[in-house]
A and B are shown apart, each in its own frame.
Chain A
Amino acid sequence: MERQLMNNIISVQNAIFSYPGNDIHVLNDISFDVSQGEWVAIIGHNGSGKSTLAKAIDGLLSLDSGQVVVDGLELNENTVWDVRSKIGFVFQNPDNQFVGATVADDVAFGLENRHVDHATMVAKVDEALKLVRMDKYADREPAGLSGGQKQRVALAGVIAMQPKIVILDEATSMLDPQGRQEVIELLHELKQRYKFTVLTITHDIDETALADRLFVIDDGSLISSGEPEKILSDSKMLLEKGLDLPLGEHIKHDLKELKIEVPEEYMNSSQVVNWLCQQLSSME
């Protein structure tokens, strides 16, 4: 109920899409709403249509049928640039989305497209680079940066535009665990500060535990949505859909196989550790 009272910032109704020359629906009648300031994570196996969905929201693909409304604007040919200006998009491959010849140039790219004047642009680029702690690298070329640093620059490019929505399309999938952690923590920090809405598409199941709401997509359909705790504890469904279990659930699942009784509700890894300690001490 509460969710309905809040502003819907993204609303997708009956989205259907298939790639040209292919009869299979990549998006098969998907409908959902995302409210202002929410952090939504989308999971699903490879080829389930997650990335297509993200691109459809940004108007990078046009749907065969259905409707996308972003912040009150219905997405169509006339509004596509306005819709895009509300959305910041970070893609998967840090190398392939780096447009500028240097870090500062890349952050400025979106601002240049929006005809921001030079003085404002310089100030915004500086500020955005400081926020992602890349200000010391402003004049560096992308070839000298690590993958995590490149994704931080991509985030800075998004932050400089101050979008209402940030979409991360597997933005951490090509990073090492440390770089992934850094980018996610940074995103949390920035979300606190700017109160934007976040839509992350990910394979990293542990990352989804941080979201407000979790969508599971399978073969182009939304099969489950709700709080991460609820969905992540449904290990049977996750395994059926070819997805991984979060670490805590994985341990619980293995214990269950050994006929050890475990609590039903979702537990993250430290909760599982606590629970195990309790069990062991009560045994003595």
Chain B
Amino acid sequence: MFSKVLFGRFVPTNSVIHKLDPRAKLVLSMYFIVIIFFANSWQTYAWLAAFTLGTILLTKVPLGFFWDGVRPLIFIIVLTVILQIFFSSGGHVYWQWGILSITQFGLINGAYIFCRFVLIICMSTVLTLTTQPLMIADAVESLLKPLTKIKVPVYELALMLSIALRFVPTLMDESQKIMNAQRARGVNFGTGSLWKRVKSLIPILIPLFISAFNRAEDLATAMEARGYSGGEGRTKYRLLHWHTADSVACFVMVAATIILLTLRYFT
């Protein structure tokens, strides 16, 4: 049930992309999602698709994993594309019925939206497949560090994030155990009406919450016993290093943007 969760499905292939600094990867993938919205023609989309494909090939991760990333969202993609096709107007009209129409621009917009979705999903999948969740948490902490100046508790947020990540598998195991225990006592999950199904979640959720409280208390005691007295002034065991490769990656992204803008404005 939980193995389908894509988040944190790190695939270690030790590629060039894997070795990049997580900060670089996080910022660049967000940046890429922004520049996708600058694309407005076949040439620009073709360029971005080629760029994404190049990145995917560099990760050396089997292509199946990317399909796994797209698959859960396919319903949303298809729905959006269909709405776009039927409700856009302009250009040559191929078919019309009431307010529904299939037009030239509608088809083109639909295709663009489809490309946008796939590109965004692929790029964010590149990030999650090549970066351990822990590294992403480190990157978030490091990137948020300037906010400590305006009294945002960045260290505490980072600690919470890293503890949350560390407890995800533990709590998943636990919920599986509770589910099985409740099944053994006759609780039936996933059958009956919606109301019945929601009600059958109570015997999982309440024990899970209570055990999370107990865990939190134990963990807090253990942390205190080990000298944790707040985030301020702690040294760090895991350090992030910015290498030449990371600067190169940034340059490549800048170059890609320049090509994109050239294609957009000069063709």
Binding site for B on A (CB under 8 A): 55, 58, 60, 81, 84-85, 87, 89, 91, 93, 95-102, 104-105, 108-118, 121-122, 125, 141-143, 157, 161
Chain B residues whose CB sits within 8 angstroms of the CB of A91 once the complex forms: 218, 221-222, 225
Can you name the residue of chain B whose Cβ is closest to the Cβ of A87? B225
Q: Is B227 a contact of A84 with CB atoms below 8 Å?
A: yes
Q: How far is the CB of A171 from chain B (nearest CB, A)?
A: 11
Chain B residues whose CB sits within 8 angstroms of the CB of A89 once the complex forms: 222, 225-226
Q: How far is the CB of A174 from chain B (nearest CB, A)?
A: 12
B170 at the interface (CB under 8 A from A): yes
Bound-state CA distance A110–B223 (Å) is 8
Q: 8 closest pairs, A vs B, by CB?
A: A108-B237, A97-B222, A96-B218, A143-B169, A113-B227, A89-B225, A110-B226, A101-B134
Task: Knowing A84-B227, A143-B173 are in contact, say whether A97-B234 is a contact too (CB < 8 A).
Answer: no
Chain B residues whose CB sits within 8 angstroms of the CB of A95 once the complex forms: 170, 215
Q: Is A157 a contact of B237 with CB atoms below 8 Å?
A: no
Jot down 9 A-B pairs with beta carbons below 8 A, ordered by A. A84-B225, A91-B225, A99-B223, A99-B228, A100-B162, A100-B166, A112-B236, A118-B237, A142-B170
Bound-state CA distance A91–B214 (Å) is 14
Q: Is A141 a contact of B166 with CB atoms below 8 Å?
A: yes
Pick the most buried of A55, A101, A104, A115: most chain B CB atoms within 10 A of its CB: A101
Q: How far is the CB of A263 from chain B (nearest CB, A)?
A: 43
Main secondary structure of the interface of B (DSSP, over half): helix
Q: Is A99 a contact of B222 with CB atoms below 8 Å?
A: yes
Q: Is A96 a contact of B222 with CB atoms below 8 Å?
A: yes
Q: Is A142 a contact of B227 with CB atoms below 8 Å?
A: no
Q: Is A105 a contact of B237 with CB atoms below 8 Å?
A: yes
B255 at the interface (CB under 8 A from A): no
Chain A residues whose CB sits within 8 angstroms of the CB of B3 once the complex forms: none
Q: How far is the CB of B218 from chain A (nearest CB, A)?
A: 4
Q: Is B173 a contact of A118 with CB atoms below 8 Å?
A: no
Chain A residues whose CB sits within 8 angstroms of the CB of B166 once the complex forms: 98-101, 141-142
Q: Which of A97, A110, A143 contacts B218 (CB 8 A)?
A: A97
Can you name the residue of chain A whose Cβ is closest to the Cβ of B228? A113
Supply 17 further A-B pairs (C-beta < 8 A) apart from A96-B214, A122-B237. A81-B229, A89-B222, A89-B225, A95-B215, A97-B219, A99-B223, A99-B228, A101-B162, A105-B237, A105-B238, A110-B226, A111-B235, A111-B237, A117-B235, A118-B239, A142-B166, A157-B226
Bound-state CA distance A189–B150 (Å) is 50
Q: Is A118 a contact of B228 with CB atoms below 8 Å?
A: no
Q: Which of A98, A100, A115, A157 contacts B235 (CB 8 A)?
A: A115
Q: Is A60 a contact of B221 with CB atoms below 8 Å?
A: yes
Q: Which of A97, A112, A161 contacts B237 (CB 8 A)?
A: A112
Task: Knowing A97-B218, A101-B134, A142-B170 are in contact, say whether A113-B225 is a contact too (CB < 8 A).
Answer: no
Q: Is B162 a contact of A125 with CB atoms below 8 Å?
A: no
Binding site for A on B (CB under 8 A): 134, 137, 162-163, 165-166, 169-170, 173, 214-215, 218-219, 221-229, 233-239
Chain B residues whose CB sits within 8 angstroms of the CB of A122 once the complex forms: 237
Chain A residues whose CB sits within 8 angstroms of the CB of B134 once the complex forms: 101-102, 105
Bound-state CA distance A109–B226 (Å) is 8
Q: How far is the CB of A81 from chain B (nearest CB, A)?
A: 6
Can you name the residue of chain B whose Cβ is closest to the Cβ of A95? B170
Task: Knowing A96-B215, A97-B218, A142-B170 are in contact, say whether A113-B162 is a contact too (CB < 8 A).
Answer: no
Bound-state CA distance A222–B165 (Å) is 43
Pick the most buried of B221, B224, B227, B234: most chain A CB atoms within 10 A of its CB: B227
Bound-state CA distance A38–B236 (Å) is 34
Can you name the residue of chain B whose Cβ is closest to the Cβ of A142? B166
Chain B residues whose CB sits within 8 angstroms of the CB of A112 once the complex forms: 234-237
Q: Which of A105, A143, A157, A161 contacts B170 (CB 8 A)?
A: A143
Q: How far is the CB of A15 from chain B (nearest CB, A)?
A: 18
Chain B residues whose CB sits within 8 angstroms of the CB of A110 once the complex forms: 226-227
Q: How far is the CB of A76 from chain B (nearest CB, A)?
A: 16
Bound-state CA distance A84–B137 (Å) is 29
Q: How far is the CB of A61 from chain B (nearest CB, A)?
A: 10
Q: How far is the CB of B173 from chain A (nearest CB, A)?
A: 7
Pick the most buried of B222, B227, B237: most chain A CB atoms within 10 A of its CB: B237
Chain A residues whose CB sits within 8 angstroms of the CB of B226 once the complex forms: 89, 99, 109-110, 113, 157, 161
Can you name the residue of chain A whose Cβ is closest to the Cβ of B224? A60
Bound-state CA distance A112–B173 (Å) is 29
Bound-state CA distance A97–B214 (Å) is 11
Q: How far is the CB of B154 from chain A (nearest CB, A)?
A: 15
Chain A residues whose CB sits within 8 angstroms of the CB of B219 once the complex forms: 96-97, 99
Q: How far is the CB of A52 from chain B (nearest CB, A)?
A: 12
Chain A residues whose CB sits within 8 angstroms of the CB of B214 once the complex forms: 96
Can you name the residue of chain A whose Cβ is closest to the Cβ of B214? A96
Bound-state CA distance A118–B165 (Å) is 23
